[in-house]
Amino acid sequence: MTDTAAAPAATTIVFLLIPGITQLDFTAPAQALCRMPGALLVSAAASRDPIATDSGFSILPTDDFASCPQADILCVPGGHGVAEALGDAATIDFIARQAAGAKWVTSVCTGAFLLGRAGLLTGKRATTHWAYAHLLPLVGAEPVTARIVEDGNLVTSGGVTSGLDFALTLIGRLHGDAVAQAIQLAIEYDPAPPYIGGHPDRTPPAITAGLKARVYDAAAERMERALIGPLGSSRSRSDGR
């Protein structure tokens, strides 16, 4: 007897890549989502040149903005490069065009601000990395302290590692809990961190204060300046500026 079971419908998942991306914002959800039935993973950037990550290596996009297919799921990762990307008209236009036809619009970490610059967070509940959450009202969003926040077809997630939780949550919505749990098992996502913490609510205050002073106070100020600044004209990212 032949197997007449229908193949799962194809789902095109488009990840935006920008210079300075936090690689785990992209690679963690991509690792789970690529195992979803029918998944077709696409990574798009302004050009097909290698994209430098924050980890000292680069990622090669599969497409540029012009060749990228329409996303069923659009995912916008974050990173320290977001502040510059907020002023790039071509990047923001790409997000807006893709979001208009996507079934799901999602972000990881500070990628939420790129969604916001594209006008996609107005009146929406959203989350982002804890160090930047106070800036969400600047893009019209209602900040929510949570690892994953769903508002209609919009799904935002917190910092870096929360992208994996977001991916499994979305897989569960699309294919059911059993499929999501099987993928979680396949990648052995069974976190048992060596320290209690990972969020200011559960981390010793001195550690949080020290990290903010060393990294995130200045980074959040830079993000704020970018958010209140104008959207710049479209230009190539390959010029190094």
C-alpha to C-alpha distance for 207 and 186, rounded to whole angstroms? 34
C-alpha to C-alpha distance for 146 and 158, rounded to whole angstroms? 7
Closest C-alpha among 142, 137, 90, 109 to residue 219: 109
Which of 34, 68, 75, 109 is flagged as catalytic?
109
Closest C-alpha among 87, 163, 149 to residue 118: 87
Q: What separation, in Å, do the N-terminal and C-terminal C-alpha atoms of the chain show?
A: 62
Catalytic residue flag (residue 109):
yes
Helix (H, G, I), strand (E, B), or coil: what is residue 127? coil
Contact 166, 146 (CB under 8 A): no
Contact 234, 44 (CB under 8 A): no
The count of other CB atoms within 10 Å of the CB of residue 196 is 8
Q: Which residues pair with 73 in a beta bridge?
A: 13, 104
C-alpha to C-alpha distance for 58 and 42, rounded to whole angstroms? 16
Closest C-alpha among 59, 60, 68, 47 to residue 237: 47
Amino acid of residue 145? T
Q: What residue spans of 176-233 are helical by DSSP H?
A: 177-186, 205-211, 217-228
Catalytic residues: 109
